[in-house]
Amino acid sequence: MTISTGDRIPAATFKTMTDDGPADIASDALFGGRTVALFSVPGAFTPTCSARHLPGFVDKATELKAKGVDEIVCTAVNDAFVMGAWGKSAGADGKVTMLADGNGDFVRAIGLEMDGRAAGLGMRGQRFSMIVKDGVITTLNVEAPREYNVSSAEHMLTQL
């Protein structure tokens, strides 16, 4: 079942790249007591994700935070090494937190996995965005296949 607005984020563990290597971040620590704008992409370094999705959130980070967002998070079913390198190459440092959902546990738990095997991608996460306040989803935007509209930073700004 797909998660919905009003639902609580399930327990999950993400990985982030640090100077000492990958480190765990628990969903309760990430989302508890704060407002988080999270967006998911099918894959780091893929065309739409690299040309539009991540750059949009990097460019709009100041505006999103001015509207009450404590942290902006990008996640994908990639490993922490790839997410870290992608974030650096996109200038995300200090603007967007890059979190790996390497095994797809988070997207599977919220029912937003995607079968990308036909394109050689394996199982991935769908393209979506959400606003989470103290662990509860207040806004959820799930894209239609091969679309990029409602999960953008620009669209999210209209919802805050």
Say how far apart CA 57 and CA 49 lie, in whole Å: 11
User: pTM, whole model, 2 decimals?
Assistant: 0.94
The CATH T-level fold of domain 13-159 is: Glutaredoxin (3.40.30)
Give the pLDDT of residue 1.
61
Residues with Cβ within 8 Å of 78's Cβ and at least 6 positions away in sequence, in order, are 43, 44, 86, 100, 101, 102
pLDDT digits (tens, 9 = 90+) for 16-60: 999 999 999 999 999 999 999 999 999 888 888 788 899 999 999
Residues with a catalytic annotation lie at 49
pLDDT digits (tens, 9 = 90+) for 112-141: 999 888 887 878 899 999 999 999 999 999
The domain locations on the chain are 13-159
